[in-house]
Amino acid sequence: MLISVVLCLVIGCSESFLPAWAVTDLRVVAAVVEVEGQPGRARPDSEDDIEVSLLVIDQGAPPSDIPEIPALTPPLLEWSFVACVPAPTLIGPPICRDLIQPCDGCVGPSPEDPFAFPVIRFQVPSEAELDSVQATSVVVQGAICADGPPSTDSILRFILGETDDLNPCEDPNNEGRFVSVKIPIEVTPQDPNLNPEISAVELNGRSWPPPYDQGVPRTAPRTGCKTDLDAITEQERADHPVAGSSASSINLRVTPDSLQSYIAGEMTLTEEMQVSWLTDGGDLERTFSFITDLARSVLTHWLPFPDAPEDGLLVRFTFVIRDGRGGTDWVERGLCVLPGPSVESPP
């Protein structure tokens, strides 16, 4: 890292490198693990049935040219995964050793639901099977592509540990991503790790304004959001920042139970929550923040762009929290940014 910093200072780094919070293409940014019959559990025990949900995001799509086909963000997805027990490795990505079968949802989407997102279900192997290979986790690996199928050959090479010169999609022109999700096995079933929970996200000290206060419809195009503001109050419309305005504060809160205490060796520790801030428009102050035991909320700032189209530009936000032990939660929000007031020249 130090070498990279010094090199930037010496030769000057290109401004074309976007910050990590800027969503400009397809991304898989989180995986939430849930244990069947045990709500809130983030880490399974042996022989538990689990469900793994992947969060896939992208930059907002422009309006569709075909009335019968809506704009989709992200686009239609196809994926192929395997669930497996990993081989013992010291460095590098996990390498699949023993496949876990059956795996419901590992290949998708189903013909009945072409708009689905990846949700993968399988049973964790027995304690004896895990102990026989010294496995402390199970793994989901594979690829997801937009508007076309993944490459079976590339996925096979990926799960065997190859990572160089691989294209995740059959059509190299399609956007795609390789995905590897490590799922730790619970070591203290009597005091299990639970998924944290985002309790509130506020904009400028107030509740997030509708109509995107509970999420953004997948079919909402990037431009033309002005009509969505017709159904809300004048005050709620005023809570949406306009282009060229000053930075807005975003405050994220988690529930009091989200920061768990746990034992590591002979020490009692408290989780430190990592917050990832992501958006497809404007400028965020930072990519990551941390919530500690002394504060169950965290603040960042977002600056709108200087100009916006007359019919409005929809900005999508994704906020992800991770407890560092396998627990995850996320929320999505949106703002409709309209042009700022025109400034007339003095006579």
**144-181 confidence digits (pLDDT tens):** 999 999 999 999 999 988 877 899 999 999 999 999 99
> What phi and psi values does residue 153 have, to the nearest 5 degrees?
-65, -45
pLDDT score at 3: 34
Work out the mean pLDDT of the chain and round it to a whole number: 91
User: How high is the pLDDT of residue 60?
Assistant: 97
Q: What is the pLDDT of residue 347?
A: 53
Q: What mean pLDDT comes out for the span 102-123?
A: 96
Indicate if the pLDDT at residue 29 is higher than 80: yes
**pLDDT per residue over 55-92, tens digit each?**
999 999 999 888 888 899 999 999 999 999 999 887 77
pLDDT tens digits along 212-261 = 999 999 999 999 999 999 999 999 999 999 999 999 999 999 998 999 99
Domains of the chain in sequence order: 17-184 (no CATH), 198-337 (2.60.40.2410)
Residue 4 has pLDDT above 70, yes or no: no
Residue 9: band (very low, low, confident or very high) from pLDDT cuts 50, 70, 90: very low
pLDDT in tens, 260-297: 998 888 889 999 999 999 999 999 999 999 998 777 88
Cis peptide bond prior to 168, omega within 30° of 0 = no
Summarize the confidence of residues 14-26 as an average pLDDT.
Answer: 82
pTM of the shown model = 0.91
Burial class (CB in 10 A: 0-12, 13-18, 19+), 334: buried
**What is the share, in percent, of the chain residues with pLDDT greater than 90?**
80
* Residue 343, pLDDT score: 55
pLDDT score, position 6:
31
pLDDT of residue 263: 85
Q: Can you tell me the distance from the alpha carbon of 98 to that of 217, in angstroms, rounded to the nearest whole number?
A: 39
Q: What is the mean pLDDT of residues 189-195?
A: 93
- The band of 94, judged by pLDDT with boundaries at 50, 70 and 90, is confident
Q: b/e string for 112-147 if b means 16 or more Cβ within 10 A?
A: eeeeebbebbbbbbeeeebeeeebebbbbbbbbbbb
Distances (CA, A) of 95 to 61, 157, 186, 317, 325: 35, 10, 21, 33, 21
Rounded average pLDDT over 312-329:
97
Residue 65 exposed, middle or buried by CB count within 10 Å (0-12, 13-18, 19+): exposed
